[in-house]
Chains A and B, each alone.
Chain A
Amino acid sequence: MFSLIIIAIVSGIIAGMGIGGGSIFILLTTIFGIFSQQQAQGYNLIMFITVGVVATIFNIIKKNIDIKMLLKIIIPVCIGSIIGINILKKIDQNILKNFFYVFMVIIGLYEIFSSLKNMIKAKNNKMKGVE
């Protein structure tokens, strides 16, 4: 229980920053053997829904959300989720883990390269400004 609390604190702060708290929660709880892959994913969904619904109500009040776009995208995403869940029910845990590794490596590399690219771009723009 103690390690779960520590992991929840760390990943909760990261999630609040909007930078992949869910991925980090799943990785940490499975590395430390607290949850199986599927359990970690299930608990992560529960945490995400709670925080996500509160954030969304706040964003709707603050008019931060493009409702037209939301209505356009919500149905395909829900259909996809139902397909994903059905794959999850049939898939072997080990295969799921391997797919998860590949997906996480892609997400990790993408975040590193896109942020470095933005930083270099910002630095170049600053230098141009000085000239």
Chain B
Amino acid sequence: MIYLIGVIVGILNGLFSSGSGQVLVFYLVFIKKLETHKVRALSVATLSIASIIAIFGYNKVVEYDIKNIITLLIISSITGIIGTKLMKKIPSDILNLISGILILLLTIIKIIKG
């Protein structure tokens, strides 16, 4: 079963590049009953390795602008640390609720805008 879930998570990661971590975390926490924070670490490790493979595929589909890449890398490294520090101050259920509402709202806006 875990191998099948692995392949599905990989396909979602290659196809959408986001959200597949939630699927993996769901499976390992709720079905396999593993500890949440260890599962998150495992999910990040697995998907970053898989994403390195996926990025070679994206090279053929997407043209990158080096300026954008540098800007995004600098900002995400700094804000990533800020986010990690903030995370410890807010309960994880509240964080998940906010993230769920945000994702749902933005998706609706995107559908309306086409």
Q: Which residues of A contact B90 (CB under 8 A)?
A: 17
Contact, CB under 8 Å: A8 / B57: no
Contact, CB under 8 Å: B6 / A75: yes
Size of chain A's interface in residues, with CB distance under 8 A?
A: 89
Contact, CB under 8 Å: B102 / A41: no
Specify the chain B residue showing the minimal Cβ separation from A21: B83
Q: Which residues of A contact B77 (CB under 8 A)?
A: 50-51, 54
Q: Which residues of A contact B50 (CB under 8 A)?
A: 74, 77-78, 80-81
Q: A81-B10, A87-B15 are in contact. Are A17 and B83 (CB under 8 A)?
A: yes
Q: Is the interface of B mostly helix, strand, loop or mixed?
A: helix
Contact, CB under 8 Å: B11 / A83: yes
Specify the chain A residue showing the minimal Cβ separation from B85: A16
B16-33 vs A, Cβ < 8 Å mask (1 yes, 0 no): 111100101010000000
Contact of A20 among B22, B24, B57, B79 (CB under 8 A): B22
Q: Is the interface of A mostly helix, strand, loop or mixed?
A: helix
Contact, CB under 8 Å: B80 / A15: yes
Q: A19-B99, A42-B58, A51-B76 are in contact. Are A80 and B8 (CB under 8 A)?
A: yes
Beyond A21-B83, A88-B61, list 13 extra A-B contacts (CB 8 Å): A16-B82, A48-B47, A48-B51, A50-B77, A51-B77, A52-B45, A54-B77, A66-B42, A81-B10, A84-B12, A84-B14, A108-B103, A116-B97
